[in-house]
A and B are shown apart, each in its own frame.
Chain A
């Protein structure tokens, strides 16, 4: 790691101001920052430790929904009885992520800003070309080994997957990212790579994530997070799905359905075409499988990641059928 200064922020305002300096980065759990500093991807001049700021780690759940402070640890949220009861997919997305040690360190605010696992992005020494790291330098992944690259939301400049699990569940249930003076719907918080893949979110210099709020809904209460990966635990998603369903009083007809995908796209991906195909219907296996395939209508393969186009709809279908009592 390159040499840097370290200090502890005394207030949220001080931390926010510190980000105006190009060489300064905020340090929370450190699980992404220090990892990428060791890889040579980040070369901060100053780290501002925000983990001692008061009042940013609270978790409250009531009839209106959940508010989660940015500094709440992944494990604390995963284990919170209120979150587990009202937002099971959110709790599951966290407990299926990383390892217990990392979940004890990483904060949910930092989790939303975690960077891609694209091996070309992570290795500046071997692969100088990376538009996300060094705008305009090219993309080493295109034409390279693409087994874990995105099939949705890609551009000529970047095909890196957003590796998050929590954000996928949050996108499904219309959560907001709180940034002090403003809040943004999480779906709009993330940006497609386009020609500027270095610009991943709408968070501006001088802004800091203060928390997450998730509105209560019946779909969120009756939800699941299904994650399929190369090994049983402690691995990023090959494909994942957050699904929540609210049924009409008849217990069969879908009143509200939410579907979001992880592990396959450049940002946490809401699959609205799947939702639209199933809302108002009575679920059956054939219709669910057919609707789930709509999630991949715009998918583009780059060779090694072709399997995701087959895998993801199956993950979506299995999650929907599970919540519908058909699997």
Chain B
């Protein structure tokens, strides 16, 4: 009989209790056990970035992370980045605005990576975006639109933060 483990996972501000095989990755736990199928399985070998999630605020690959490793940490998936009222995250809106996909399979990973890329301060130029988004492959080749979306979202986020700061000062 395969070995199992009980886990309490904090994902998108909800607590999930689950019993899984010890060898289950975070990616498989999200998709197969918790119904959070927004996170995609591409290569399952850490080469494509489709499974990108945030763990304690950092972007990581959920296919090379065991579910057991993230107990006690905060996991954010693509399902957890829009506002509570349903308003899209600025990066999601920018992907739609710039048509930054064709088939859409890599898109959740691209968006999770882009949110982190902007937060890290690595979206200052087209060249920098290409370098810091290099861990997310798009087999449709929508890269030009993805870069445009990240640029637009980066400036929207920066402007938004500036406006918010101004409002707080006022």
Interface residues of B in 75-104 (CB under 8 A from A): none
Given A34-B25, A101-B135, A234-B135, answer yes or no on A3-B3 (Cβ-Cβ < 8 Å). Answer: yes
Could you tell me how many residues of chain A have their Cβ less than 8 Å away from some Cβ of chain B? Answer: 28
Interface residues of B in 6-62 (CB under 8 A from A): 21-23, 25, 44-46, 49, 52, 58-61
Q: How far is the CA of A100 from the CA of B60 in the complex (A)?
A: 8
Q: How far is the CA of A6 from the CA of B131 in the complex (A)?
A: 35
User: A9 CB to closest chain B CB, in angstroms?
Assistant: 13
User: B46 CB to closest chain A CB, in angstroms?
Assistant: 5
Contacts of A2 in B (CB 8 A): 23
Q: How far is the CA of A3 from the CA of B2 in the complex (A)?
A: 6
> How many interface residues does chain B have, given as a range?
20 to 34
Contacts of A85 in B (CB 8 A): none
Determine if A4 and B69 form an interchain contact, defined as CB atoms under 8 angstroms apart: no
Determine if B3 and A5 form an interchain contact, defined as CB atoms under 8 angstroms apart: yes
Contacts of B132 in A (CB 8 A): 100
Interface residues of A in 162-190 (CB under 8 A from B): none
Which residue in A3, A34, A75, A99 is a CB contact (below 8 Å) of B21?
Answer: A3
Contacts of A39 in B (CB 8 A): 45
Determine if B52 and A101 form an interchain contact, defined as CB atoms under 8 angstroms apart: yes
Which residue in B59, B66, B116, B120 is a CB contact (below 8 Å) of A34?
Answer: B66
**Does B134 interact with chain A (Cβ within 8 Å)?**
yes
**Does B156 interact with chain A (Cβ within 8 Å)?**
no
Determine if B45 and A51 form an interchain contact, defined as CB atoms under 8 angstroms apart: no
Which residue in B44, B59, B69 is a CB contact (below 8 Å) of A101?
Answer: B59
Q: How far is the CA of A219 from the CA of B147 in the complex (A)?
A: 38
**Does B64 interact with chain A (Cβ within 8 Å)?**
yes
